[in-house]
Amino acid sequence: MTVPLSPRRTRPRFGLGACLVAAARGLAFTGLMLAGLVLLVVVLGAVGLAMLGLWALILGADSRESGQKVPLALLVIGAGLLAGRFLLPPALLGIRRLASLTRRLAGEWCGVPIAEPRPLPPPHQGRLGFTERLRWLLTDPATQRDLSWTAVNLIAWVLALASAVIIVVGLVAFFRALSPQLSLSTLVLACTIFVVSQAVSITPGSVGTYEGFFLLVLSTFGARPAALVTAAAVLSHVGNIAALLGAGAIGALWLRVNRPPLPVGLERPIPS
């Protein structure tokens, strides 16, 4: 029988130092995500080149220009096979190591422990050949989980970046419609500085400072009148809060309906 253990909680820290540490850790997670993206592109590129060359070979063999297309298709297939031979196993191992490091840092930095998947042992001791190594990696559920996590993590970061871009575009369109005296480049710069600055909150949740800082940044670049800038700040703040509350409610409802199993590190046996 097991009983869940609550993860270790620490009191949130505020101040400039804590904000800088949080920003640095966020950049570290971003770097891990970009490294995983590069390795994922290597994996997909090796498979994609081979499939693209095979498809071009099938189509080119029936065309009148087969003398030109067939050698090119064979060249593409060869490039894909070479990439798979020399780059595919190291890329898969790299993705697994990056995922393991991200899980460990999530527990140490964010207080969110994530269970480490138990990898399959190698088929035998000693040096593995290419075929044995590739089969071992591809049939390991831990590799499949880490590949899925890398792809989902990439989608999450793209959505996060898209949300920031949408906010900037919306603010620029709003001010261009109501205060056309500012140039487009000045508006984009001002709105981008404001959106990026919200990554380091001045107070918890930027309560009481969002509108003031919004007005300060935009007015510095010449946005007028002040009442219009303040109204845009209030609407932007309320919209952001409503979106976050809605996303949190959907997530809480999903967790209530589909209760995920606790990580291994959060369970302990009770002596009988």
Contacts of 211-214 with C-beta under 8 Å, sequence gap 24+, read 211/237
**Domain match, 180 and 237 both:** yes
What per-residue string of b and e applies to 53-78 under the rule 16 or more CB within 10 Å gives b? beebbeebeeeeeeeebeeebeebbe
**Domain coverage including residue 132:** 16-115+128-139
First to last CA, the chain: 9
Please tell me whether residues 134 and 40 are part of one structural domain: yes
What is the structure's pLDDT at 267? 45
DSSP code of 265? Answer: G
pLDDT in tens, the chain (272 residues): 444 444 555 566 666 777 788 878 888 888 888 898 899 889 888 888 888 888 877 776 666 566 677 788 888 888 888 888 888 889 998 999 998 999 889 888 887 788 887 777 777 777 878 788 888 888 888 888 888 888 888 888 788 778 778 777 777 777 676 666 667 777 777 777 766 666 554 444 455 567 777 777 777 777 777 787 777 777 877 877 787 788 778 877 877 776 655 544 444 444 44
Q: What is the pLDDT of residue 9?
A: 54
Cβ neighbours around 130 below 10 Å, total: 12
Asked if residue 267 is part of any domain, the answer here is no
DSSP 8-state assignment for residue 259: -
Q: Is residue 67 part of a domain?
A: yes
- 248 lies in the same domain as 168: yes
Domain-located, residue 147: no
| Count of beta carbons in the 10 Å neighbourhood of residue 20 | 11
Kindly state whether residue 120 falls inside one of the protein's structural domains.
no
Question: Are 165 and 103 members of one domain?
Answer: no
pLDDT at residue 101 in the model = 92
Residue 145 lies inside a defined structural domain of this protein: no
What is the pLDDT, as a whole number, of residue 94? 92
Looking at the structure, tell me whether residues 132 and 172 fall in a common domain: no
Say if residue 185 is in the same domain as residue 107.
no
> Per DSSP, which regions of the chain are E strands?
2-4, 267-269
Give the domain-ending residue among 82, 105, 139. 139
Task: Note whether 24 and 77 are same-domain residues.
Answer: yes
Q: Is the same domain home to 111 and 185?
A: no
Number of domains in the chain: 2
Question: What digits encode the pLDDT tens for the residues 199-239?
Answer: 554 444 455 567 777 777 777 777 777 787 777 777 877 87
Report if residue 5 sits inside a domain: no
Residues 168 and 202 in one domain: yes
Long-range contact set of residues 79-82: C-beta below 8 Å, sequence gap at least 24: 79/49, 79/53, 80/46, 80/47, 80/48, 80/49, 80/50, 80/51, 80/52, 80/53, 81/50
Q: Are residues 83 and 163 in the same domain?
A: no
Q: Are residues 74 and 106 in the same domain?
A: yes
Whether residue 105 lies inside any domain: the answer is yes
- Examine the domain organization and report whether 95 and 26 are in the same domain: yes
Query: 80: closest CA among 98, 55, 62, 61?
Result: 55
Residue 7 lies in a domain: no
